[in-house]
């Protein structure tokens, strides 16, 4: 990520060809908004804080892939294909050892749809 923070405002809907995936190029995509901020940079890999205003299926993964920065280890949305391009051999080896996405929630918050709390 070149900038230190940003905002992704792209609709998310079913992929036009692969029905198991979501995409920002769907004809019936719904509004989806993701705010991101860089927490730390590790060469070619960046730790981000993400806040979503909407809760679309796979929203974070789809949005980051759409801007060319897929989640590390995400085999569905392209995050495993670029690990071999990482220059630092120690970091590349560690990321190759991941058997899952490097996507974790520190906090989950939402307003209750009935009470608003």
- Tens-digit pLDDT profile for residues 5-38: 999 999 999 999 999 999 999 999 999 999 999 9
Tell whether pTM > 0.95.
Answer: no
CB 29 within 8 A of CB 71: no
In a domain? residue 38:
yes
Q: Based on the structure, what is the number of domains in the chain?
A: 1
In a domain? residue 63:
yes
In a domain? residue 84:
yes
In a domain? residue 103:
no
In a domain? residue 105:
no
- Tens-digit pLDDT profile for residues 78-109: 878 788 888 889 988 988 888 899 999 988 88
């Amino acid at each position: 990520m070149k900038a230190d923070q940003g905002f992704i405002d792209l609709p998310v809907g079913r992929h036009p060809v692969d029905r198991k995936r979501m995409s920002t190029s769907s004809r019936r995509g719904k509004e989806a908004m993701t705010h991101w901020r860089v927490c730390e940079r590790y060469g070619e890999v960046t730790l981000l804080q993400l806040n979503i205003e909407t809760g679309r299926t796979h929203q974070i993964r789809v949005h980051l892939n759409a801007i060319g920065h897929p989640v590390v280890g995400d085999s569905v949305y392209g995050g495993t294909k670029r690990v071999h391009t990482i220059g630092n051999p120690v970091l590349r080896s560690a990321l190759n050892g991941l058997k899952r996405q490097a996507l974790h929630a520190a906090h989950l918050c939402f307003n209750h749809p009935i009470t608003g709390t």
